[in-house]
A and B are shown apart, each in its own frame.
Chain A
Amino acid sequence: EAGVAQSPRYKIIEKRQSVAFWCNPISGHATLYWYQQILGQGPKLLIQFQNNGVVDDSQLPKDRFSAERLKGVDSTLKIQPAKLEDSAVYLCASSLTGTGVAEQYFGPGTRLTVT
């Protein structure tokens, strides 16, 4: 079974630039999550999708971050404009259901450096 795919794996941008990350979840997984993990910290949930609807985006900085999951499969996370404090690893995860019971499977992450 293929795992969660993310691209790019690494990205370096200057502050005030824009960046987008892509995630392809495990086939058949209805729920998709985006996390931000700053070095030395635990992941922070940014947004949760159930199919193509948003379940929770309470911790997403909506003035600069946006995410979509068209057709309920792939998802993109965008930052515009980036700030230095956005430097982190962005992890995508998927699960079979969104009830919280199902195990989450994480992708390899995208390491973003903002200079």
Chain B
Amino acid sequence: ELKVEQNPLFLSMQEGKNYTIYCNYSTTSDRLYWYRQDPGKSLESLFVLLSNGAVKQEGRLMASLDTKARLSTLHITAAVHDLSATYFCAVGNDMRFGAGTRLTVKP
């Protein structure tokens, strides 16, 4: 059974700092998704990664996929308070989600 692990589960950052969230998965998959969820809200799609070496960037967020290592990263550059949310990765055709990384960006 496909297992998806995210770390860290909780992340408190200072504004302006950089950090990386990791998503590891247990079986081969050629597709990975990143979502953002604000408290009490639904999920917003951030990135869809479909091939080994795929890299996508949107604003201060950059996602990459290494299918050989079964690893995706979500890199945050110069964090701002508006990025505070929970970030989920999801893997495979049956959309297995990780437990999420709760990010808090402090001034």
* Contact B99 A41, beta carbon cutoff 8 Å: yes
In the assembled complex, the Cα of A101 lies from the Cα of B45 at a distance in Å of 12
CB within 8 A of A91: which of B42, B50, B96, B98?
A: B42
Binding site for A on B (CB under 8 A): 4, 31, 33, 41-45, 48, 50, 88, 90, 92-100
**Given contacts A44-B97, A45-B94, is CB(A100)–CB(B31) below 8 Å?**
yes
CB-contacts of A13-63 with B (<8 A):
33, 35, 40-45, 48, 56, 58-59
Write the chain B residue with the least CB distance to A92: B42
* Contact B88 A42, beta carbon cutoff 8 Å: yes
CB within 8 A of A58: which of B88, B94, B98?
A: B94
**Given contacts A42-B88, A91-B43, A108-B42, is CB(A101)–CB(B50) below 8 Å?**
yes
* Contact B45 A42, beta carbon cutoff 8 Å: no
Residues of A within 8 A of B93 (CB): 56, 100
Q: How far is the CB of B89 from chain A (nearest CB, A)?
A: 9
